[in-house]
Amino acid sequence: MAFLDSLISEMEEHRIGILDIDITKARPTSNGSNEIRGAIAEHLVREWINKCLGAEHYSGWPKQVSSYNIRELPSGIVVFEEGQTKMEYDFVISYDGGIVLFEVKSLRLNGVEGKLERALELSKEIFPDVEDIGMIVCFPIYANKVVDAQKMEAAHPNVRCLDLGYRRKQLNSATREYCQRKEIKD
């Protein structure tokens, strides 16, 4: 998918790291350390995307499509059907005429590979008039996670994996700093 590869190239060109962002602007939905780590990772990706010229955060929410009600909540873009959560995307952007879904994992993949097919199928129903729909899974790619990234991309031609570029120690340090600056007991 050319538009997806173009976005990845632009993101790599404007790469920022965990030390380049104001972590106090991360917005966790609770004060648990897992939530804070996730919010820091999502804030990193949002700031990174903001540096890419053609990328715009999709703002067409709430949206009703078929039996789905899609809303933007503090936890992300949530797809409901008859009051039941069917899917959640961390965020959605438009880029070069296409739609890009983002899944951000701060450390562990937590079964994301098993959700990709359904996430992509559902996105076609949510955006029936959009031909190019892709997904970027962002996570720190090191050690055995390199193989995980290769497997996801091989199994799903419209998925790309993007390395967040930090290690566990760096994220834990950022989490401690966030807690200190926000006066949260870790």
Q: Write down the pTM of the prediction.
A: 0.94
Q: Phi-psi category of 23—alpha, beta or left, where left has phi over 0 and alpha has psi -120 to 50? A: alpha
pLDDT tier at 97, thresholds 50, 70, 90: very high
Is 72 a domain residue?
A: no
Is 29 a domain residue?
A: yes
Tell whether the model's pLDDT for residue 185 goes beyond 90: no
Is 64 a domain residue?
A: no
**Percentage of residues in the chain with pLDDT exceeding 70?**
99
Is 67 a domain residue?
A: no
Is 152 a domain residue?
A: yes
Tell whether the model's pLDDT for residue 1 goes beyond 90: no
Domain that holds residue 33: 2-56+90-180
Supply the pLDDT for residue 92: 97
pLDDT tier at 104, thresholds 50, 70, 90: very high
Is 32 a domain residue?
A: yes
38-51, pLDDT tens digit by residue? 999 999 999 999 99
Looking at the structure of the chain, the number of domains it has is 1
Tell whether the model's pLDDT for residue 144 goes beyond 90: no
pLDDT tier at 115, thresholds 50, 70, 90: very high
Mean pLDDT confidence for 157-166: 96
What is the H or E stretch that residue 154 is in? Answer: helix 145-155
Supply the pLDDT for residue 161: 96
Helix (H, G, I), strand (E, B) or coil at 167: coil
Mean pLDDT confidence for 55-71: 94
What is the H or E stretch that residue 50 is in? Answer: helix 33-50
**Percentage of residues in the chain with pLDDT exceeding 90?**
88
Is 133 a domain residue?
A: yes
DSSP state of 186: -
Tell whether the model's pLDDT for residue 186 goes beyond 70: no
Is 104 a domain residue?
A: yes
Instruction: Please state the φ and ψ torsions of residue 145, each to the nearest 5 degrees.
Output: -70, -20
